[in-house]
Copies of this chain bind each other. A is one copy, B any other.
Amino acid sequence: MAISKSEEFTKIENKISDWAKALSHPARIKILKILAQKNVCMCGDIVDLMPLAQATVSQHLKELKRVGFIKGEIEGPKICYCLDYSTVTEAQKKLNELFDGIIIIK
């Protein structure tokens, strides 16, 4: 947000911070858990489980899609959202590498 000097940082620093940004709202954490644990994938079903309006949930889904945590498959007038495990796994791995680099050394 706002005049960010992202060119001044490394690719991995930008990538990790971008993933973290996608996780930086409790609604998006909750959406990821819903998609993983409930047998649910449609936007409307997610809205029913969330304390937010449909438009707001849609915005959060867009942000999760932007970083690749979820994919949306069109099924007629519906869209079935599902987790993209490869991206989620990659994010976990890189975040752990960051944490390990921070914690182990010294």
Contacts and interface: CB of A to CB of B under 8 A. Distances in A.
A56 B21 CA distance: 19
A48 to B, nearest CB: 14
B14 A26 contact: yes
Contact of A24 (B9, B20, B29, B51): B20
Interface in A82-106: 83, 85, 88-89, 91-92, 95-96, 98-99, 101-103, 105-106
A39 B18 CA distance: 27
Contacts of A91: 99
A79 interface: no
A16 interface: yes
A53 to B, nearest CB: 10
12 contacts: A9-B27, A9-B29, A10-B26, A13-B26, A17-B23, A18-B24, A21-B21, A24-B24, A37-B101, A83-B103, A88-B99, A92-B95
